[in-house]
Amino acid sequence: MTETVRFPDGPLGGRYRIERELGRGGMAVVLLAHDLKHDRKVAIKVLRPAIAAAVGAERFLREITIAAQLHHPHILPMYDSGEADGLLYFVMPYVEGESLRDRLEREVQLPLAEALQIAREVADAIGYAHSHEVVHRDIKPENILLESGHAIVADFGIARAITAAGGDRLTETGLVIGTAAYMSPEQATGERTLDGRSDVYSLGCVLYEMLAGEIPYPGPTAQAMLARRLTDPVPPLRSRRPSVPPAVERAVAKALARLPADRFSTAQEFSAALERDDAGAVASDGRIPRRSRILLGAGLVALAVAAALLLRSRSLTEPSASVIAVLPFSPTTADTALERLGRDLAATISANLDGVGDIRTVDRLTVLAQVAAGAGPLSLPEGVALGRRLGARSVVYGSLVRAGDNVRLDATLYATDSARAAAQTSVVAAPGDIGALTDSTTYGLLRAIWRRGTAPTPSLEAALNTHSLEALRALLAGEGALVENRWDEAAADFRRAIDADSTFWLAYGRYAFAKYWTLHEAEPQVWSLLERHAAELPERDRRFVEILRLVDDSLDRALAEGRSLTEQYPDYWIGWMVHADQLLHVGPMVGHEREEARVALEQTLRLNSRLIPAWSHLTLLALQDRDSVAVDRCLAALTGLNAGPALMAEGYGDQMLHFRLLRRQLRPDTAGTGSLIDSVAHDVARNRNTGSSFYDPFRYGYFEIQTLLSGKVLRLGPTPREEAAHRELIVLSWMGRGAFDSALASIDRYAEGAGEPSWALEAYRVAVLGSWLGALSPVEADQRREGAARGAPGAGAELVAEIAWIDGVRAMARRDAAGLSAARQTVRASGAPSAAVLERSLAGMNLGVEGRPLAAGTALANLEWQLAQSGNLAVAKHPYVSTIDRLAAARWLAAGGDTATAARLLVSSEASYFISSGTNVNLAVAGLELLERARIEAARGERDAAVRHYQEFLRRYDRPTPLHRHLVEEAVTALRRLSGQTDR
């Protein structure tokens, strides 16, 4: 029976107005309240009355003051505590982020780098608390809050206070301090005198779960879990996730040792073990990295070996210098030139430090993106907080001041956990001598933090691999333009850097990235040189370049490498943006849901909140989800960034104008849509050279709006290419609404007097697709065959092959095995480049006609996965192939019981929204694919997903032919059954 907690009618303790309950657990009820004195939201934990009575108010409040004295960036502080109306409570900040438990319920397993970062931050927190003789006793995902990408441990000292105050009286309440899934063996067996090693054990359980996706000792009951940890060995972590490095597995196993004496003595030791890199200073291909080569004398083998062994040791530098964020240096007085120099020096010093010994620096472009030019200097607390958010253990913070004709740079290295100064240096040099300022500052910092042997003397020239000051200045100017969304300007700057130093490979990589966002591919010779010299790029840039090229060869490999890059360099916004871009545009082709792209875009924006492409891509996703709140958030951000000029790319027109038209469709009252359609139509006529884009209403299921828009464009005198594209958009829009008869009528109107066989072929395609789907009579397809055939004799091999393939689809719809066989023979004899693919497609259909649904679905699915990986250009000429193959495969797989693969195939249609600026027939049958997904989700018991898909099907499929009205009735009936909703 749940114990009732009655709250006072007035403000709790005279100063906290209770707003609502946030949750409840075994010890307390958590409330959201308003702090009347300080005008802020707070979270209040109110102890259950039975526990409050057992521990006693005076003793509890005395013990809780120990927790209130803990001050650490990864510990949730305590604001207040007290007693009111018989209730014991304590007050904490209200954290609007989520808990680690929320995150694990959503993602199950976390990226390696992120899991290790969370574990290290929790280790820092509990290590600090242990030094103040406070053991948490209940480390678990529910007590780890995630805010701005960082961990904050809640309820510190609460368990200790309750235990110390309550003593044996707690037994009467039935309260057990700790959680069985994460409890150390000694805590489970009732040991009273626990030390910090018990918390280390619990943290080991949490890290195990973050990586493996489950706790190390699962069981049906608390007793079963506790019994297993007292008898069973630690389950090998790599058996559940092979990508976990051996060093991490060993560290977790030691943390989970049954005896406290066999564990790490302190949380700091556990954290340090998680930072070790078994690869040392030797690269994965066996080469010694560039920074190691700086220390080697040419031909001195013994010295080379000694240096390599030295660099393998983790203890070369102070632990706080393992990850450094170099912040822009601020002039002591208003000075635009020194402000620009301070940003340039942050970039060069960061590049110079990166890779020296065990030092890694936070990506310099991410740091620049976080500190806007002209925004004024950061205070030291702000700089330290920024470093923590970016995962840095320390920050380089400093200032610039003029000294006659020279400048003086004062730089200090501060630890982010305590703001303690670990190193300090001052350098005086000419303001134009970036190399001297950079090298001297780097060496000064290294001397102070180097722990073994003599600190090296890195060279900026070696760090960036250029001897040209002109090239360096152009690169820095381009990087500044990048973080300010000035893509054309950035590309021009990087081009200048290449012209100044033709072997400056980093400039080539930056140039390719800038051109990527101007929608103009870098020149072939640039890519050729980049591919030949990729090994000479910094590691993160090398991998980024490889990912851009991989997408042409293998989508799976490109996406896997993108994820790996973001795990290895979680602070690299370029990597996150490219990965998000690929997830959005091509990820669905191999079964990735849109949510993955959204997560990657949100992470990109956490690192670079002013990145216009990230906001515009997030807008596309929000529009596709019909999420008006998310769309408004994105459009507000784009407006604040004055994104209009940046979103005027050639071939797309005024993207903000198109966004406004699409946003208008999400309003209950669409008044004003007509004038917006007029504006967009004129914009299309002025700016488009392709006739269609990612922003067409058709792509978002607004078929009626697309028909009106395209009709206006056709009346404005478009080019022949645009005219054909917009006529096709109208045909596809009718199909999207289920009106296959209206689509054919439109084709007939366009074909009159055109004298082109292409419209006759399109009519045959639509008629066959409609008859196969059951929306049209088979007679319609039979009648259209002759018109399409007139263009085939003597025509190209591809036309002959495609008509034969459509014949095969027609035969499949009639379950005509002989007709299918004849079609396959014609395809084979055509000699078309796409013949092999088309013949495989028909072979899969033949299996279905033979009554072997699972074999048919598997064959077509395998063909589609292969085509998606290779980007087969030959079959891309036949737009109906993948549409029919994937829908047919999904239906057969579902009938054969393989609903997982069927659902994954249907996800692929989402790629059509964003895959290219050309139209895609997948979108014309997206409503029917949604219906198939709804059926699958309903059969699986996924009620919410089924309801969502049925509703979207009904919203799109609003003009079905008489033969398809039963589908609408089916969806309405299903919605009544699932949720009682009948509106559409």
Q: Which residues are catalytic?
A: 138
The CA distance from 914 to 621, in Å, is 10
Computed on alpha carbons and rounded to an integer, the radius of gyration of the chain in Å comes to: 32
AA identity, residue 70: L
Helix, strand, coil share of the chain (percent; to 5):
60, 10, 30
DSSP 3-state assignment of 20? strand
H or E segment to which residue 407 belongs: strand 406-415
| Sign of the C-alpha dihedral computed for residues 30, 34, 35 and 38 taken in this order | positive
Q: Which residues contact 23 (CB under 8 A, 6 or more apart)?
A: 29, 30
CB atoms within 10 A of CB 402: 15
- Return the bridge partners of 314, or none: none
H or E segment to which residue 440 belongs: helix 434-449
H or E segment to which residue 155 belongs: none
The CA distance from 462 to 276, in Å, is 26
DSSP state of 6: P
The CA distance from 78 to 92, in Å, is 5
Whether 419 and 384 have beta carbons less than 8 Å apart is answered as yes
Q: What are phi and psi of 659, to 5 degrees?
A: -60, -40
Residue 544 sits at the vertex; the CA angle it makes with 540 and 545, to the nearest 5 degrees, is 120
AA identity, residue 321: A
The label of the residue with tokens 């958590």 reads 30
Q: For the purposes of burial, counting CB atoms within 10 Å of the CB of 718, is it exposed (0-12), middle (13-18) or buried (19 or more)?
A: buried
Length reported for the chain: 984
H or E segment to which residue 30 belongs: strand 28-35
Copy the structure tokens of residue 412: 């200090």
DSSP state of 345: H
The CA distance from 523 to 530, in Å, is 11
The CA distance from 851 to 952, in Å, is 32
> 372-386 b/e with 16+ CB inside 10 Å = b?
eeeeebbeeeebbbb
Cα 374 to Cα 313, 337, 638, distances in angstroms: 41, 11, 20
Cα 453 to Cα 361, 580, 897, distances in angstroms: 22, 43, 65
Strand order in the sheet with 150-153: 98-99, 144-147, 150-153
> 454-465 b/e with 16+ CB inside 10 Å = b?
ebbebebbebbb
Q: Which residues contact 791 (CB under 8 A, 6 or more apart)?
A: 757, 758, 760, 761, 799
The label of the residue with tokens 């589609």 reads 864
Strands (E), 826-888: none
Q: Which residues contact 774 (CB under 8 A, 6 or more apart)?
A: 963, 964
AA identity, residue 623: L
| Sign of the C-alpha dihedral computed for residues 149, 150, 153 and 154 taken in this order | negative
Whether 170 and 192 have beta carbons less than 8 Å apart is answered as no
β-strand pairing of 406-415 with 421-429? antiparallel
Whether 844 and 889 have beta carbons less than 8 Å apart is answered as yes
The label of the residue with tokens 């139209």 reads 919
